[in-house]
Amino acid sequence: MSTTTSIKEELNERGGLQIWWRLLRPHTLTASFIPVFVGTMFALTSHEINLLLFFAMLLASILIQSATNMFNEYYDFIRGLDNEQSVGIGGTIVRDGIAPKKVLGLALSFFGIAIMLGVYICLESSWWIAVIGLFCMLFGYLYTGGPFPIAYTPFGELFSGFLMGTVIIGISYYIQTQVITTSVILMSIPVAIFIGAIMLSNNIRDLDGDKANGRKTIAILLGRQNAVRFLATMFIIAYLLTAAYIFTGVLPIWSVLAFLSIIKATDVIRKFQGKTKPLEMMPAMAATGKTNTLYGLLLGVSLLISNFI
């Protein structure tokens, strides 16, 4: 049995449409739809919302995140960082034989559709959204593209958390309300932390390969055990902030529902402990994405409930 076949079987990778589904890296897409959902639900607590704007923003955010994942796939391959044994990638190029230029072209097409959706959003809100949106798209490209990829530095978690968390929540709130408040910025911070945690868990899993290829991620600088501790600290800070916001009235009392996600957060740390191989850490990586999803959905639902009770 070849190494490629073995890796594909261990990851349960199949052909057909699943090739393109894996290319999107679906476990990371929670970082795109949760901020839009939370920002819109927060707007609903004080304003009526435009559902067409909500869905346009949701689709644009998912397209930008998907394109960023494709740029990651393309540029890591071009730089020789991915091979047929790499874990945590779509494997579309190195294992499925899809032409690199096709992956790049698809990413640019997704950006193009997102821009068209952005035009509609701007027409319904403000053209300042175009400036911010293009800024986000630029950093989506520069995350792994360009001469100095952000993903290869200790700042990947910070940029991804801020842009996909705080900025997207802020935009989602603004296009519905035409204002930005201190409360929405504060409320976005825990979500931004959880999104940064997805990137950190990814870098913990890929630590050995990234280090061999000259990356300087925060996981490499801290070392695996300390990076897992730092991940746990991020979770604790996010939940403490949530509690503080409920206590001070930034969030409604119903937002205690978000604490149910602690079960999944503790599962992440447990699944990382004692693991050193990328395949062994895949469940922890997936659980991190599920933690963000569960926290965000429960937070959004709590905001929705508070609007009717």
| Tokens matching residue 287 | 């659980």
Q: What percent of the chain clears pLDDT 90, i.e. is strictly above it? A: 63
**pLDDT tens-digit readout, 9-29:** 666 566 677 888 888 888 788
Distances (CA, A) of 279 to 82, 113, 181, 273: 15, 34, 43, 14
**What's the CA gap between 220 and 204, in Å, rounded?**
8
Q: Which residues neighbour 206 within 8 Å (Cβ) at sequence distance 6 or greater?
A: 87, 88, 219, 278
**What's the CA gap between 122 and 133, in Å, rounded?**
10
Q: Which residues neighbour 57 within 8 Å (Cβ) at sequence distance 6 or greater?
A: 36, 40, 117, 121, 171, 172, 175
pLDDT for position 93: 84
For residue 48, pLDDT beyond 80: yes
For residue 73, name the pLDDT band (cuts at 50, 70, 90).
Answer: confident
pLDDT for position 192: 97
pLDDT for position 15: 66
pLDDT for position 59: 96
The answer to the question of residue 2 being in a domain is no
pLDDT for position 89: 62
CA triple 25-292-225, angle to 5 deg = 85
For residue 80, pLDDT beyond 80: no
Mean of all residue pLDDT scores within the chain: 89
pLDDT for position 2: 47
| Tokens matching residue 301 | 């639902």
**pLDDT tens-digit readout, 184-212:** 999 999 999 999 999 999 999 989 888 88
Residues 162/190, Cβ–Cβ less than 8 Å: no
The answer to the question of residue 16 being in a domain is no
The answer to the question of residue 154 being in a domain is yes
Its pTM surpasses 0.85? yes
For residue 227, name the pLDDT band (cuts at 50, 70, 90).
Answer: very high
Q: Please, what sign has the CA dihedral across residues 248, 251, 254, 259?
A: negative
For residue 1, name the pLDDT band (cuts at 50, 70, 90).
Answer: very low
Mean pLDDT of 286-301: 96
Instruction: Give the domain extent around 221.
Output: 21-308
Q: What is the DSSP letter of 133?
A: H
The answer to the question of residue 9 being in a domain is no
**What's the CA gap between 296 and 278, in Å, rounded?**
27
For residue 266, pLDDT beyond 90: yes
Mean pLDDT of 131-137: 88
The answer to the question of residue 194 being in a domain is yes
Between the two ends of the chain, the Cα-to-Cα distance in Å is 60
Domain count, the chain: 1
The answer to the question of residue 12 being in a domain is no
For residue 180, pLDDT beyond 60: yes
Report how far Cα 232 is from the mean position of its chain's Cα atoms. Answer: 18
Write out the H or E segment, with its range, that includes residue 135.
helix 128-142
Q: What percent of the chain clears pLDDT 70, i.e. is strictly above it? A: 92
Mean pLDDT of 236-260: 97
The answer to the question of residue 206 being in a domain is yes
